[in-house]
Amino acid sequence: MQCGGCAKSSDRINMLCANCAGSTVQQKRTILMALWADVAVLREKSAHALESKDLSSYQIDIQALEDQQQERERCQIALDRERIALAKLKHHIAERQAQLLVAKTRLHGQSTAAGEADDGVDYIMEGLGRVLRWNEQNLTAMRRTKVLQLFQLFQLFPAPRLRYFRTIVKLPVPSSGQYEATEHLPPEVVSAALGRMIHLLILLPKYLSPLVYPHPMIFNGSFSTIGEQSGEGAGCHTLYPDGSMGFARGVAMLWQNVAYLCIAQGMMLDELDPVDSLGNLIRLAECPTLGSCAPHKPSTERLHEMMAESSAAMGGHPLVAMASSLRILPEYNPNDMPDHDGGPSPVGLSEWNVVEARPSFRQMQYAPP
């Protein structure tokens, strides 16, 4: 009988000898040890994998926990700040309530003592009214002072010894309003005086604002003009005493402007002279309501009616005589005196520009032609 590992018999008997059996056992032992080694390696890998996975998840949980902790601390700090602010506001409200209670108690005590619930408000309104009246009085006094200073600058004051004349910047003007009939006043003197009146009237609105004259004026020395609101055509008149209808209309407009000024300062229309414009300005300087800028309404209405009647009366008659008033302008020479019957005396112009009354002046006035 032969071994099945090293030699086989014809009968194929699977039997091993001791040598072949030891080799087979050793081979299987080696394979088993290799399998055990593989199992150990796989076990180590599995354990390492499980440990690393647990560590990463643990680290993630720790980070999230720290973030939540920081958010909670931040919310806690904000809540503490709001609690502090609320406590301060509550304390401030308590103080204001205490002050309000004290003020109500004091006000109630004052009201009870005075017998009126709104005594504090009435007292405040009364004080404001006194301040308003005081400011209005100061403003009126300042306006009056400035206007009187302006009148003094123009030397506008009455001359008691000259009953028939008024003066402005030492230029005499007849108080009767008859500028053409004055034999001893050169037309240049009259026109210069009227020009100064227009100059004064133009300066007054600066101190007596608001003041708008019904007839616009232009200061141009001895050839100052006055006219209607349109300012065109025959509605504009030169205040030069040439005996024309335009001059008479201009003088009437000048009187209306002066009357409007006086009425705007509280004077009545009955207090004004119907022809003496310069005298009305002097009366305005003596008026106690000068500077108040409070017009007398009935007199204002009457003056508007008078101006409307005057405009209607002159509207149907064109001032054709205005051409004669315009023709004298290019021929005027201040060194030449008009030479006609009943003209002015040969006294120079410089002797007429005085304020003081002279005996010779009245003698010349009543002297026979």
pLDDT at residue 201, as a whole number: 93
Residue 40 lies in a domain: no
Domain, as residue range, for 75: 66-108
Average model confidence (pLDDT) across the chain: 76
Residue 234 lies in a domain: yes
Residue 228 lies in a domain: yes
CATH number of the domain within which 302 lies: 1.10.418
Determine the residue type at 352: W
The mean pLDDT value for 236-245 works out to 85
The mean pLDDT value for 147-172 works out to 79
Query: How far apart are alpha carbons 75 and 78 in whole angstroms?
Result: 5
pLDDT at residue 118, as a whole number: 58
Instruction: Say whether pLDDT at 279 is over 60.
Output: yes
Structure confidence by residue, pLDDT tens digits, 23-65: 888 888 889 888 998 898 888 888 887 777 666 666 667 778 8
Judge whether 331 and 151 are in contact, CB under 8 Å.
Answer: no
pLDDT at residue 235, as a whole number: 66
Structure confidence by residue, pLDDT tens digits, 100-123: 999 988 877 766 665 555 556 777
Query: How far apart are alpha carbons 224 and 216 in whole angstroms?
Result: 11
The mean pLDDT value for 293-302 works out to 89
pLDDT at residue 56, as a whole number: 62
Give yes or no: residues 74 and 194 share one domain.
no
**Residue 4 confidence class, pLDDT cut points 50, 70, 90:** low
Give yes or no: residues 82 and 146 share one domain.
no
Instruction: Say whether pLDDT at 258 is over 90.
Output: yes
Residue 174's φ and ψ, nearest 5 degrees, are -65, 135
